[in-house]
Amino acid sequence: MLRGDGFADALWRRFGWSYESRLWATVCMVQTDLATLRGYLRTIHYGRLRSRLARLRRRYVGLSLRYLHVDGAMYWPRPRQRLFQYRLRWSAYRASTGDLITLLDTGGWREHVMVSWLIAVGRRADLRARIASDLLGDAPCGYRWDYCTALARLGTDQDADLLRRYLDRALLIARAEDPGSDDEHCQRQAMGALLYLDGVLGSSRAQPLLAPGGLWEQWSGEVGAASLDKEGETTARLVAFAAGKDPGCRRQRR
pLDDT at 183 over 50: no
What confidence score (pLDDT) does residue 221 get?
82
* Residue 91 belongs to domain spanning: 62-253
User: Is the predicted pLDDT of residue 76 greater than 80, yes or no?
Assistant: yes
36 and 84 together in one domain: no
More confident residue, 82 or 109: 82
Q: Is the pLDDT of residue 12 over 70?
A: no
Q: Which of 78-92, 98-112, 146-160 has the highest mean pLDDT?
A: 146-160
Do residues 175 and 219 make contact, with C-beta atoms less than 8 angstroms apart? yes
What confidence tier does 181 reach under pLDDT thresholds 50, 70, 90? very low
Residue where a domain terminates, one of 14, 36, 54: 54
Tell me how many domains the chain contains: 2
Q: Is the domain of 50 the same as that of 22?
A: yes
Lowest mean pLDDT among 119-133, 148-162, 179-193, 220-234: 179-193
Distances (CA, A) of 114 to 10, 39, 107, 119: 67, 33, 10, 9
Is residue 199 located within the same domain as residue 104? yes
**pLDDT over 70 (residue 4):** no
Q: Which residues contact 202 (CB under 8 A, 6 or more apart)?
A: none
Q: What is the mean pLDDT of residues 143-168?
A: 91
38 and 137 in a single domain? The answer is no
72 and 50 within one domain? no
41 and 122, same structural domain? no
